[in-house]
Chains A and B, each alone.
Chain A
Amino acid sequence: MGRTTMLVLDPENRHYDVAIIGSGPAGITLALSLARLTPLRIALLESGLLDADPTIQALARAQLRGDLGEAYFPMHTQRRFGGSSTIWGGYCAVLEERAFMAGDWPIPYSELKRWYPAAAGMLELPDNAYTRPHVAIEGTRDIVYKPFYLSPPVRFNEKYGDEIISHPRIDLILGHTCTRLEASGRQVRHLLLQDSLDTARAPVRLRADTVVLACGGVGNPRLLQLSGIGQDLPVGVGLMEHPHMYAVANMYLDWDRLQDVVDRRANAVHALQLADAYCVAHDALSFSADFNLQQLVSEPLLGERREALFTPVSLRAEIAPNPANRVGDSDELNALGQPLPRIDFHYRFRQQAHRTWQLFADALLRTGLGRPSTLRPDFQLHSGGHLMGTTRMGRDPRQSVVDINARVHTTDNLYVAGSSVFPAGGASNPTYTIIALTLRLGDHLATRLGGNADATS
């Protein structure tokens, strides 16, 4: 029987095959994956408790410089069992292939496609989420229809909590913040754990043969930095977000050409995207133009009076990783005596937004699929709470932090799960891809550490 505990008893004598730091969607997914595939003993560590605690939540504070508003933290991070799945909205779509075609990712896109079906199952998405992730539209190869399917949304703590807590080989350790990884050579030897509430208590050490960071786009690089691991790697560098622009334009869309394409039965947000090949050919990044189905009007489109959707447009866009956007040390300390992360982030997006919208407008109008309005000149950028790219995946240690298997380049038994490994963030909400990549990591670790398919009992 696994133990759910806020205290690590007799820690020096406790040994795990795998320690997973962070019990959000990635951490829970990995723990379940390993437990189902292997006989390994797993520790799932969580800074928070089963429910939100304001004192622990305050440990997620950060010093913000730039475009992320003061409310960004703690709004977009949750230090509790289930992590950000306790507050997410459920938007799911496959990552665009553009970045893979452009060589931004070091793995082939098939590596993601392989795991999307299982990820859809975890998130309770319809099969169309991976069998029909985007659909061609008659008469154009430049624009595709892409629905964003809505998970109920799955709260990982509620859906998977019982399995985690009752599993005989998973220990869920709550209320302890991992403050440092102690490494020697190319190995992490111990995890230093601090009681998240009783800061006067002496820290305890936990031993694990393999360690996986699953504590978010800020937490992952931060723990590496605080541990002095990967000092020659670009840890924390290249933070990405998804700029959201709500009702920033309008467009008419030819309903005759869309009505057989749009998945009207699905619980989904409908969007158009520039096709991946079009983006690559025009050196453009991915973006989604959301539309709704509420208003049908008559509109002349390329010389014909057509029945058309008239809809406001909200955009969700990809930005390139910029080295100036980064996570590092601030001059403030948190309650555990550690420097708060300092997050420098600027969207630098306005010029790109206008160019990308112009490309989209061209493609939409020139194929007669629709008529776009101009972009509102005073549009506001909003954040999505999608922190990506701070421990980016790549083959070159000068340009990346983890390798193609999500292992930290400098450390043989240290892995990273979550969107911090994304070298390019696309324009889709990241959770679906986080789960797919985590299942892939689970499969890799199961194979490397001695997986046993019979261990699923």
Chain B
Amino acid sequence: MRRRDLLKGAGAIVGLGLTGCTPWVQDDTAATEAAPSLSDQLAELADARFSASAKGLSSQVLFDRLRQNGVLSTKRGINTGKLRSLARNEPLIQYQGFYYSRSELALYNLAYLVHRPTLGR
């Protein structure tokens, strides 16, 4: 069920015919029901630099965690206010020489896994 929630948000990319999507997104038949906002937002954030940090991670687990702490909502997309609020108390993570808050990096990992861009911006 929670997976389905994710797909409602992220699945619109199927309709756009993007390549590099995770298989479970591509397979989901409910994608046409999805609101485009979350997908579009994740597509905006997707960046090849996060391929290493996303390696071995599950998009489902990432989505569940981000939804539980209020960062993601299938209806409202990314809650940047919540992300900012969490960032005030989360430990900072060093990745490729830059600092990220934990939830922020999880979000970028999710965006990468959903959209799998092959080039950085």
- Using CB atoms and an 8 Å cutoff, list the residues of chain A in contact with chain B: 250, 297-298, 300, 302-305, 361-362, 365-368, 371-374
**B57 vs chain A, min Cβ distance (A):** 17
Q: Which residue of B71, B88, B97, B121 contacts A303 across the interface (Cβ within 8 Å)?
A: B71
Given A298-B121, A300-B47, A303-B45: A373 in contact with B84 (beta carbons within 8 A):
no
Once the chains are docked, how many angstroms separate the CA of A371 from the CA of B83? 14
Q: Is B108 an interface residue, CB under 8 A from the partner?
A: yes
**A351 vs chain B, min Cβ distance (A):** 18
Whose C-beta in chain B lies nearest to the C-beta of A252?
B98
Chain A residues whose CB sits within 8 angstroms of the CB of B45 once the complex forms: 300, 303, 305
Given A298-B121, A302-B84, A304-B80: A366 in contact with B101 (beta carbons within 8 A):
yes
Given A303-B45, A305-B44, A365-B99: A374 in contact with B87 (beta carbons within 8 A):
no
Q: Which residue of B44, B84, B99, B104 contacts A367 across the interface (Cβ within 8 Å)?
A: B84
Chain B residues whose CB sits within 8 angstroms of the CB of A302 once the complex forms: 80, 83-84, 87, 101, 104
Whose C-beta in chain B lies nearest to the C-beta of A371?
B98
Across the interface, do B47 and A373 meet the contact criterion of CB distance under 8 Å?
Answer: no
Question: Closest 8 CB pairs between A and B?
Answer: A305-B44, A303-B80, A303-B83, A366-B87, A303-B78, A300-B45, A298-B121, A373-B98
Once the chains are docked, how many angstroms separate the CA of A300 from the CA of B99? 12
Across the interface, do B100 and A366 meet the contact criterion of CB distance under 8 Å?
Answer: no
Given A366-B87, A366-B88: A303 in contact with B107 (beta carbons within 8 A):
yes
Whose C-beta in chain A lies nearest to the C-beta of B50?
A300
B67-94 vs A, Cβ < 8 Å mask (1 yes, 0 no): 0000100000011100110011000101
28 interchain pairs (CB within 8 A)?
Answer: A300-B44, A300-B45, A300-B104, A300-B108, A302-B87, A303-B41, A303-B45, A303-B79, A303-B104, A303-B107, A304-B44, A304-B78, A304-B80, A361-B92, A362-B92, A365-B99, A365-B101, A366-B84, A366-B88, A366-B101, A368-B80, A368-B84, A368-B87, A372-B99, A373-B98, A374-B94, A374-B98, A374-B99
Whose C-beta in chain A lies nearest to the C-beta of B89?
A366
Across the interface, do B99 and A361 meet the contact criterion of CB distance under 8 Å?
Answer: yes
Chain B residues whose CB sits within 8 angstroms of the CB of A372 once the complex forms: 98-99
Whose C-beta in chain B lies nearest to the C-beta of A139?
B84
Chain A residues whose CB sits within 8 angstroms of the CB of B83 once the complex forms: 302-303
Chain B residues whose CB sits within 8 angstroms of the CB of A250 once the complex forms: 97-98
- Using CB atoms and an 8 Å cutoff, list the residues of chain B in contact with chain A: 41, 44-45, 47, 71, 78-80, 83-84, 87-88, 92, 94, 97-101, 104, 107-108, 121
Whose C-beta in chain B lies nearest to the C-beta of A375?
B97
Once the chains are docked, how many angstroms separate the CA of A92 from the CA of B71? 44
**B79 vs chain A, min Cβ distance (A):** 8
Once the chains are docked, how many angstroms separate the CA of A361 from the CA of B108? 19
Whose C-beta in chain B lies nearest to the C-beta of A249?
B97
Whose C-beta in chain B lies nearest to the C-beta of A299?
B121
Chain B residues whose CB sits within 8 angstroms of the CB of A373 once the complex forms: 97-99
Chain A residues whose CB sits within 8 angstroms of the CB of B92 once the complex forms: 361-362, 365
Chain A residues whose CB sits within 8 angstroms of the CB of B87 once the complex forms: 302, 365-366, 368
Whose C-beta in chain A lies nearest to the C-beta of B95?
A374
Whose C-beta in chain A lies nearest to the C-beta of B78?
A303
Once the chains are docked, how many angstroms separate the CA of A374 from the CA of B97? 5
Chain A residues whose CB sits within 8 angstroms of the CB of B80 once the complex forms: 302-304, 368
**A310 vs chain B, min Cβ distance (A):** 11
Chain A residues whose CB sits within 8 angstroms of the CB of B94 once the complex forms: 374
**B107 vs chain A, min Cβ distance (A):** 6
Given contacts A302-B87, A372-B98, A373-B97, 20 further A-B contacts (CB under 8 A): A250-B97, A250-B98, A303-B41, A303-B71, A303-B78, A303-B80, A303-B104, A303-B107, A304-B78, A305-B44, A305-B45, A361-B92, A365-B100, A366-B84, A366-B87, A366-B101, A367-B84, A371-B98, A371-B99, A373-B98
**B45 vs chain A, min Cβ distance (A):** 5
Once the chains are docked, how many angstroms separate the CA of A361 from the CA of B98? 10
**B51 vs chain A, min Cβ distance (A):** 15
Whose C-beta in chain B lies nearest to the C-beta of A300?
B45
Once the chains are docked, how many angstroms separate the CA of A37 from the CA of B108? 65
Once the chains are docked, how many angstroms separate the CA of A371 from the CA of B99? 6
Once the chains are docked, how many angstroms separate the CA of A361 from the CA of B47? 22
Once the chains are docked, how many angstroms separate the CA of A372 from the CA of B92? 11
Whose C-beta in chain B lies nearest to the C-beta of A298?
B121
Chain B residues whose CB sits within 8 angstroms of the CB of A303 once the complex forms: 41, 45, 71, 78-80, 83, 104, 107
Chain A residues whose CB sits within 8 angstroms of the CB of B79 once the complex forms: 303
